[in-house]
């Protein structure tokens, strides 16, 4: 049992060291003009979903969906978001599609996650993707 445990620990340390060397010494492909690999997408998309579920605060939207707040929200969206996510004047944003990963086009498909998780993502942004 002791030898198995020692072997397991040594194996884990060697594996972690190998991953560190691979990434730290520049073997990881960092080009943003190529699509992410399947493993990277699966891992990081899942990570973002679980992260938003875990940390999205259980708070209620303090703004009621009145005509006034919705009109103000539309103006804010057009000014700050539509350039990348698409709006009435540019339903599909070429600029947004040029990012890696591409900006989701919200006029085609609204975000399908609960409002509190959307709030958390918009409030803090997302890194490492
Ligand atoms: C400069 C371009 C740009 C602007 C401006 C921008 N975004 Fe984004 N946004 C992106 C990109 C690119 C992604 C995809 C990031 C990713 O998948 O990791 C994204 C992702 C998102 C997501 C996550 C969608 C998902 O995958 O669940 C939300 C929500 C979002 N943006 C909301 C907004 C809002 C609200 C605004 C305006 C206040 C805004 N964005 C402005 C580029 C932009």
Task: Give the pLDDT confidence of 6-59 residue by residue, as tens digits.
Answer: 999 999 999 999 999 999 999 988 888 888 888 888 888 899 999 999 999 998
Checking if the pLDDT of 129 tops 60, the result is no
CA 39–ligand 1 middle distance (angstroms): 22
Residues 88, 75 contacting (CB under 8 angstroms): no
Q: Is the full-model pTM beyond 0.75?
A: yes
The count of other CB atoms within 10 Å of the CB of residue 40 is: 15
| Count of domains for the chain | 2
Residues 43 and 1 in one domain: no
Look up the domain containing 99 and give its range.
Answer: 31-124
Tell me if 7 is assigned to some domain.
Answer: yes
Q: What is the pLDDT of residues 9-22, one digit of tens each?
A: 999 999 999 999 99
Residue 53 alpha carbon to ligand 1 centre in Å: 18
Q: Is the pLDDT of residue 72 over 70?
A: yes
Which of 44, 81, 124 has the most ligand 1 atoms within 8 A of CB, as the residue to mutate? 81
């Amino acid at each position: 049992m002791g030898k198995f445990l020692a072997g397991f620990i040594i194996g884990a340390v060697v594996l972690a060291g190998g991953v560190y060397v691979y990434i730290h010494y520049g073997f990881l492909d960092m080009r943003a003009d190529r699509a992410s690999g399947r493993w990277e997408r699966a891992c990081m998309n899942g990570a973002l979903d679980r992260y938003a579920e875990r940390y999205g605060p259980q708070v209620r939207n303090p703004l009621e969906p009145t005509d006034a707040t919705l009109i103000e929200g539309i103006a804010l969206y057009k000014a700050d978001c539509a350039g990348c996510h698409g709006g009435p004047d540019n339903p599909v944003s070429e600029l947004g599609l040029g990012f890696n990963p591409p900006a989701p086009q919200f006029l085609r498909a609204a975000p399908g996650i609960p409002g509190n998780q959307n709030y958390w993502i918009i409030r803090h942004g997302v890194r490492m993707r």
